[in-house]
Amino acid sequence: MPDQIRCAWCSNDTLYQDYHDLEWGKEMHVDQALFELLSLEGFQSGLSWITILRKRIHFRTQFENFDYTKLAHWSEEKQNEATLNPNIIRNRLKIQSVKTNAIAFMKIQEKFGSFDRYIWEFVDFNPILNHFHSLKDLPVSTEISENMSKSLKKHGFRFVGPTICYAFMQASGMYIDHTLDCFCHPKNKHE
């Protein structure tokens, strides 16, 4: 959809546009997809999202398609191997957090029945529709993302600060933060 008006953060890069148009802000309820997204958001910390998108296929290959049941048992050797992969972000702490978070993820599944049920409770199981006019109106975190961050950390997660949690919530459709002029904002779907 090349002639559409999009959120200002979305560049002319086709990969970015496809992500914006087809993924960002769409409700996500599959545990494996939620784990992948939370992991990638952690890797994105301090970097641009387009960098992560360009490497996503390599992340999936390196991290066994983000199968948390496998990643929870990753050996030190596997983690070291990942630090040598030039096609991903090779930050050792971020790589180690994938195993740590996989273990915590499965504990949440056991306690709540699914990660989806646990995580969507932060927004009462309904997306929050915002009406921001421009990119500068969007916050970097909210009280809800701060609460999510505290809860995830309490459950043993790493690389889940309030800003990462807010980005995760936007991407997974918990917050619908397309700006009002964007063709993806729900108010523009019926015009």
Active site residues: 19, 41, 49
Cβ–Cβ contacts within 10 Å for residue 29, how many?
15
Q: Are 106 and 77 in contact (CB under 8 A)?
A: no
Tell me phi and psi for residue 129, to 5 degrees: -90, 115
Distance in angstroms (rounded) separating the CA atoms of residues 81 and 104? 22
Look-up of token digits 């994938």: 98
Closest CA relative to residue 96, chosen from 164, 157, 167, 163:
157
Cα dihedral 50, 51, 55, 60, rounded to 10, equals -70
Distance in angstroms (rounded) separating the CA atoms of residues 94 and 40? 10
Distance in angstroms (rounded) separating the CA atoms of residues 38 and 134? 25
